[in-house]
Structure 1
């Protein structure tokens, strides 16, 4: 129970679960050709951008070719990571039974091995969303983003740490499933950790061989300018992904929870935790596309394996449900969400404040004498 959800009764939670389950069933029953056409169209666009960008960078010593090629490659990497890779690996397109676009076979253009990402993200994060001590996405283990997190002097550096994390975000994601806190405490499984590290190293070698060796070599004497273009495209993708993901989890009054929240948690309570623990980014179709529709983070947390192109049509109904049950629906334009997130990161680099204690249950009414 939190201050924003204390008014909900057990019947309210049950009703919320029934309504959202029905919404999910409705969308699932309606999936078909237009959804398949959408993801195929996005994949064709992404591949055209990558091929065009790589071709332009064969002449990367020419400034116009370098700028255009780098921009096209950055856009291709953003689309592949956000709207394709992230969502395919969520199983959003498994219903198509297409082995080329399936969560079990997709390996994305990123240094993080797909299998490790699917565990840390699909299993851990989406099960324990915003549960302190269970959801490693709360500050990614290196940032303090809520007053419930104990302060430590190391957090004084977190504004700078966050800048570095944004630039090299794919590497932060790559080591996320290692659970560094357990490794440092010596409570991890050494064999499992070694196996995960070996997989990460293989993936890094593969990505570096492609972006920082093979394609620069193809450009011959323009090796260094093409190398710089590939590094820039990766950095742009990393900063964009970091910004979108942080704006979906940390701005404004997005809530975190303690582990006792999980005790006897019902389906309706799980849904409510997703609603109050997420934030959207308002904007048009192009913004939604380039964020992988994680601009609809609330809807994504409610229905992580529904195709992302359906979130926009679900959103008004979810917002209406929140209004009817007196729940916040956190949303705002990108600049406001970015500013709100950075405000938290800077503020919580310093000690305090403390959140108000959770409301105590109302005492039972005294029995009326006969």
Structure 2
């Protein structure tokens, strides 16, 4: 199950394995695609073969090759004892007694204080779900769907009714997006299998997307937020340059796939309107078919069968296609602004292997709390707390936030809170700043 056979193929690794004791320097050497070790609680594991079977996706666990993965391991897995059963065959040794428990480049005091905060949050019941909260959230999504159909059934297919129907459906889709996010992070049920099952229903049948596609992308984002070449959310395929580092690198190399100094303007044409209707839909179909993920494909098809069954009698086939496209168009604007306002204006850089708290805080900010902001963003206005505790039910974010702020203050880690409008405006201003950096480097370096 583990990489034992492969490990013995190299004399250096073989001799170390016999001793079963490693230094950080040696662990860090094993970070290539075909040779991957990582450390969890001072134990050293060879994950080279296991990556292909990792339920969260091979790319997620590979991000920690050559590193200490203790904090990420604890953050993502609800049942640590269960997961350790899979780790046992991969164990090849432990860190030498003289080696620090964490990567020497990390701040041990921050790591220890954050772990105490996490343990206290567990004791305070902040990881326990309130079933009524999620039932009500699902109920209001279904109610929006019913209202949209009822409007057309009662008052016909005029422009006013159709626009109102599309707005209700887009709202339902956006809110279903936040709900699938809860199940995808295993933050609703105690048992992971129930979260996975309901996740497939919500993202597949209620939204027409793929759970596996979402998991593989989103967990990579959480593992290394705003890290170039590792976080898929900052991989813009050459359409945009982000942060302060990438624009200068592109400029020096004379890379000009787009007129990046105007990216804050063409963002309005390429970003919000196209992400869900075009980019995500193509990615979802390609991923399901290439991976032969027939279960997700069946859920995906069930959404469209239900939608067309409901609306073809009123709009015909082409009219129904136009309706769902317009709904996706509206939803895409909602989704892009909410997801980008917490991350895009923050630090975007190459891997620096920092402790979990610092990594997440440099890449995320919060939006002011209000009933509307909570609902509008699916509580992702508490993006900092969500990134620090991805398994925590969202109704607990506001309870742990004061403790997180105190911890950040103690260690001098910036904790940013913005208004909703300021955060959205910062998306555009950050794109302009990055574009200007690119132009300066392109012309003068």
Distance, in Å, in 2 between the alignment partners of 1:134 and 1:208 is 33
**Equivalence for 1:330:** 416
Q: Deviations over 1:48-67 (max 9, x none)?
A: 11111122123342344334
**Equivalence for 2:38:** none
Query: Please, which runs of 5 or more residues in structure 2 have no aligned partner?
Result: 1-104
Equivalent residue in structure 2 for 1:219, among 309, 314, 323: 314
Equivalent residue in structure 1 for 2:397, among 299, 308, 311: 311
**Equivalence for 1:135:** 231
Distance, in Å, in 2 between the alignment partners of 1:128 and 1:103 is 26
**Equivalence for 1:164:** 270
Please list, as runs of the form range in 1=range in 2, the aligned pairs for 1:224-303 lying within 5 A after superposition: 228-251=322-345, 254-259=346-351, 261-262=352-353, 265=354, 269-303=355-389
- Aligned with 2:418: secondary structure? strand
- Aligned with 2:367: secondary structure? strand
Equivalent residue in structure 1 for 2:116, among 6, 14, 19: 19
- Aligned with 1:255: secondary structure? coil
The alpha carbon displacement at 1:317 in A equals 2.1
Inter-CA distance 140–60: structure 2 relative to 1 (3 Å threshold): farther
The alpha carbon displacement at 1:36 in A equals 0.7
Q: Deviations over 1:174-198 (max 9, x none)?
A: 55689x9xxxxxxxxxxx8961488
The alpha carbon displacement at 1:70 in A equals 2.5
The alpha carbon displacement at 1:96 in A equals 6.5
Inter-CA distance 68–46: structure 2 relative to 1 (3 Å threshold): same
Distance, in Å, in 2 between the alignment partners of 1:44 and 1:60 is 25
Inter-CA distance 176–94: structure 2 relative to 1 (3 Å threshold): farther
Partners of 1:24 and 1:303 within 8 A in 2: no
The alpha carbon displacement at 1:288 in A equals 1.0
Distance, in Å, in 1 between the alignment partners of 2:216 and 2:125 is 24
- Aligned with 1:41: secondary structure? helix
Please list, as runs of the form range in 1=range in 2, the aligned pairs for 1:1-370 lying within 5 A after superposition: 10-28=107-125, 31-32=128-129, 35-58=130-153, 59-82=155-178, 84-95=179-190, 99=194, 102=197, 105-108=200-203, 109-122=206-219, 124-141=220-237, 142-149=239-246, 150-151=249-250, 152-156=255-259, 158=263, 159-161=265-267, 163-170=269-276, 171-174=278-281, 195-196=290-291, 208-211=304-307, 213-219=308-314, 228-251=322-345, 254-259=346-351, 261-262=352-353, 265=354, 269-350=355-436, 351=438
Higher RCO (CA < 8 A, seq sep 6+) = 1
Distance, in Å, in 2 between the alignment partners of 1:256 and 1:301 is 16
The alpha carbon displacement at 1:88 in A equals 1.2
- Aligned with 2:201: secondary structure? coil
Distance, in Å, in 2 between the alignment partners of 1:121 and 1:282 is 24
The alpha carbon displacement at 1:45 in A equals 1.0
Query: Please, which runs of 5 or more residues in structure 1 have no aligned partner?
Result: 1-7, 181-191, 355-370
- Aligned with 2:364: secondary structure? coil
The alpha carbon displacement at 1:79 in A equals 0.9
Count of residue correspondences: 321
Q: Deviations over 1:233-287 (max 9, x none)?
A: 2222111011000011112xx223322x23xx5xxx1121101210112141222
The alpha carbon displacement at 1:215 in A equals 3.1
The alpha carbon displacement at 1:94 in A equals 2.5
Normalised TM-score (structure 1): 0.75
Distance, in Å, in 2 between the alignment partners of 1:309 and 1:329 is 20
Distance, in Å, in 1 between the alignment partners of 2:349 and 2:113 is 20
The alpha carbon displacement at 1:116 in A equals 1.3
The alpha carbon displacement at 1:227 in A equals 5.2
Inter-CA distance 91–349: structure 2 relative to 1 (3 Å threshold): same
Normalised TM-score (structure 2): 0.63
Question: How big is the alpha-carbon RMSD for the aligned residues of Structure 1 and Structure 2?
Answer: 3.3
Distance, in Å, in 2 between the alignment partners of 1:193 and 1:67 is 32
Inter-CA distance 10–220: structure 2 relative to 1 (3 Å threshold): closer
